[in-house]
Amino acid sequence: AYIQGLAMLGEYRACKEEAQQFIEAATNNAMMRARGRLWLGIASHALGDENAIGHLRKALQDEQTYAGKELWRCYAFLAFSAQSQEKARQYYEKAASIISTLSTSLVKRPDLQISLLNNEMVQIIFASSRTQ
């Protein structure tokens, strides 16, 4: 949560440093390493680091293999970082599909479902998956 908070506040250098330390400390926990790589990729992208896509792809791979909870977020940030509109569209579509499935699973929790669907980032993903 601390690393995510740094990113949300725009403190990308600190976020990148903390994410790197987090990844090193999570050597035996692939799920946590995936989360660290996600935030490392986000911070790296914001700082113009050419390694951002690589970090995000590693996070995506780890999420697919070990966790999955943040898979939609990995696709979304890969879309934000994509160098072509076609690739961005593909990533947005994958993120939107995962979010739709997640939303459907929350039908018995309408408060959570509404919160998810009204999330600003989710709205951007849905809009971008239709317009790209």
**CATH at 88:** 1.25.40.10
Helix (H) or strand (E) holding 125: helix 120-131
pLDDT, tens digit (0-9, with 9 covering 90-100), for 59-86 = 999 999 987 889 999 999 999 999 899 9
- What's the whole-model pTM score? 0.87
Mean pLDDT of the chain: 93
Within its chain, how far is the Cα of 108 from the centroid?
25
Domain that holds residue 89: 2-131
Q: How many domains does the chain have?
A: 1
